[in-house]
Amino acid sequence: MKKSSFKIISTSTEEVVFKKNDLFISKNENINLKLDSNIEVIFLENNRARVVLEFNIFDEKNLDTVPFFIKVKESGIFEWKEDTNFETVNNLLHINAPALLLSYIRSIISQLVAFSGYPSLVIPFIDFSTKD
């Protein structure tokens, strides 16, 4: 097994928003989650970049029809070897980095939902290689 030359230097939770709809009554125990994300990549000096993943569950505008709204922003500083080609770096920053940041977000969301009185929520794996 070979160590990756793509490294995470640090992470930080930038923002957490949780709004609960106390009037929500579910007629169906299986609520279809509406997940949305936004990825921002900012290139820094010395083969480093800051990646920010904003991850939303449901839409705040529809709070009257959903159990809650959650938005979590997590950022990370990533580093790679100087000789790594741009296409590889771009894929790592837009696919691998958000997948890693989502692992931090996943635990935050799980705790928020559990503390709100709803059943435990486990965020599924997300394929960041497609735009769908």
Query: Are 7 and 100 in contact, with CB atoms under 8 Å apart?
Result: no
Judge whether 12 and 74 are in contact, CB under 8 Å: yes
Q: Round to whole Å and give the CA distance between 102 and 43.
A: 20
Q: Global pTM?
A: 0.92
Instruction: Output 103 or 119, whichever has higher pLDDT.
Output: 103
Where residue 90 falls among pLDDT bands split at 50, 70, 90?
very high
State the pLDDT at residue 118: 86
Which one-letter DSSP state was computed for residue 113? H
What φ, ψ does residue 59 adopt, rounded to 5°?
-115, 130
User: Per-residue pLDDT tens for 2-59?
Assistant: 888 899 999 999 999 999 999 987 766 667 889 999 999 999 999 999 999 999 999 9
Given a cut of 90, is residue 91 above it in pLDDT? yes
pLDDT band at 92 (very low <50, low <70, confident <90, very high): very high
Q: How far apart are CA 123 and CA 105, in angstroms?
A: 9
Q: Dihedral (C-alpha) 24, 63, 76, 86: value to the nearest 10 degrees? A: 120
